[in-house]
Amino acid sequence: MSLPVKVMRDGLLEKRSSGLLQLWKKKRCVLTEEGLRLHNCKGGGDAQSAACASKAKELRFERMATVDCVEYKRGLVYFTVVMATGKEIDFRCPQDGTAWNAEIALALVRYKNLKQVFQVILISKLQPLIYSYNS
């Protein structure tokens, strides 16, 4: 049984396909504390009316390097999620309100900071044990 994950944002984004034509496809995106879930959508102009698949592709923060290449064009924000492997995934969304790229970037920074804090706590708890073992 897995613990429930806090949803930070839920809505539609367009993702550029990696195929030959590189078409923009609507995806219902759910931003959580662990990453970004992408659900395939058909129809509808918003997250509620679009029929979205229950199966999702997950871009986990542990495999994400950065969010960059932000460009504003004709009322849209274009941005790129760069994975640790170097793979780049392009997205676009309407420019109104808080942009998805900013929320994803902040969530990624928050995740990486928490990971560092936990590592420091773990090391500080393990150090006395290591020194007492070696003595």
- For the stretch 20-41, pLDDT in tens is 889 999 999 999 999 999 999 8
Count CA atoms closer than 13 A to 103's CA, side-chain side.
20
In 3D, which of 66, 3, 56, 6 has the Cα closest to residue 27?
56
The mean pLDDT value for 37-56 works out to 68
Residue 47's closest CA among 16, 89, 13?
13
Assigned domain for 2 exists: no
Does the residue 115 lie in any domain?
A: yes
pTM of the model: 0.79
Is 104 part of any domain? yes
What does each C-alpha distance from 29 to 111, 119, 124 come to in angstroms? 18, 30, 38
Can you name the residues that pair with 40 across neighbouring β-strands? Answer: 27
Structural domain includes residue 1: no
| Number of domains into which the chain is organized | 1
In a domain, 20, yes or no: no
Chain segment 73-108, per-residue pLDDT in tens: 999 999 999 999 999 999 999 988 778 999 999 999
35 domain residue, yes or no: yes
Can you give the pLDDT at residue 52? Answer: 66
Question: What CATH number corresponds to the domain at position 115?
Answer: 2.30.29.30
**What sign results for the dihedral spanned by CA atoms 43, 48, 51, 52?**
positive
> Is the pLDDT assigned to residue 3 strictly greater than 70?
no
Residue 54 lies in a domain: yes
Better-scored residue on pLDDT, 134 or 48: 134
Specify whether the CB–CB gap between 81 and 70 falls below 8 A: no
Q: List the domain range (segments joined by +) for residue 102.
A: 7-15+25-134
Q: Give CA–CA dist 96/106, Å, rounded.
A: 18
Tokens at 128, concatenated: 């006395």
* Domain annotation covers residue 29: yes
